[in-house]
Chain A
Amino acid sequence: GDSVTQMEGPVTLSEEAFLTINCTYTATGYPSLFWYVQYPGEGLQLLLKATKADDKGSNKGFEATYRKETTSFHLEKGSVQVSDSAVYFCALSSLGGYNKLIFGAGTRLAVHP
């Protein structure tokens, strides 16, 4: 079945460092791909999305490119801030006529001043 694999955390960085969180997926067909962020005590917020191969999603300085050949959707940010500390989830939208998201296990990011 469809699945998403994320790099394990926690990821600990200093402010202004470069961030990469790896995400790979297994799916039949060409699903839409998403990154969600979860701050402590809150639900998930959609960070960015891509719906087809080579699409680049971007938001708030974060970027991710849909790579069909490597089945990857890695999240990057050039300069992280303390306020970016959260748990990041990679997800795919399973095909089949309904809106089922399949999530990775999440990667916790801690940014220190």
Chain B
Amino acid sequence: DAGVTQSPTHLIKTRGQHVTLRCSPISGHKSVSWYQQVLGQGPQFIFQYYEKEERGRGNFPDRFSARQFPNYSSELNVNALLLGDSALYLCASSLASDGQPQHFGDGTRLSIL
């Protein structure tokens, strides 16, 4: 079975631009979460979506937004990119909304110039 898939794998943007990252969960998983991993640090929680509704939000500015589609895939959008947004963005899926192990994709490496 396919794992969590993310696209693109790498992306280079300039300050002020916007970006859309995509994630397809494991088949049957209804929950998708997004994390930001800055180089040398642990991942930081951005959002969780379950059944197309936002269930949790981390301490990120409103420039970050996300949505989940009827097929449970998800998009993360970031507007007005800053140099500090350079990071590995990880998507994770799980069966349910709470307490289930999360399975991660390989991430999208976003570089801001």
Residues of A participating in the B interface, judged by any CB pair closer than 8 Å: 4, 32, 34, 36, 41-46, 49, 51, 89, 91, 93, 96-106
Residues of B participating in the A interface, judged by any CB pair closer than 8 Å: 4, 31, 33, 35, 40-45, 48, 50, 55-56, 58, 90, 92, 94, 96-107
- Using CB atoms, name the residue of chain A closest to B31: A99
Residues in B with CB closer than 8 Å to A98 are 48, 50, 55-56, 97-98
The 6 tightest CB contacts between A and B, nearest first, are A103-B42, A98-B56, A43-B104, A98-B55, A44-B104, A43-B106
Residues in A with CB closer than 8 Å to B103 are 46
A99 lies within 8 A of B97 (CB): yes
**Taking each of A43, A91, A96, which has the highest tally of chain B beta carbons within 10 Å of its own beta carbon?**
A43
Residues in A with CB closer than 8 Å to B56 are 96, 98-100
Residues in B with CB closer than 8 Å to A103 are 42-44
A104 lies within 8 A of B42 (CB): yes
Among B4, B44, B98, B104, the residue within 8 A (CB) of A99 is B98
Residues in A with CB closer than 8 Å to B50 are 98-99
Among A4, A44, A93, A96, the residue within 8 A (CB) of B90 is A44
For the complex, give the distance between the alpha carbons of A36 and B102 in Å. Answer: 10
B33 lies within 8 A of A100 (CB): yes
Shortest C-beta distance, A91 to chain B (Å), equals 8
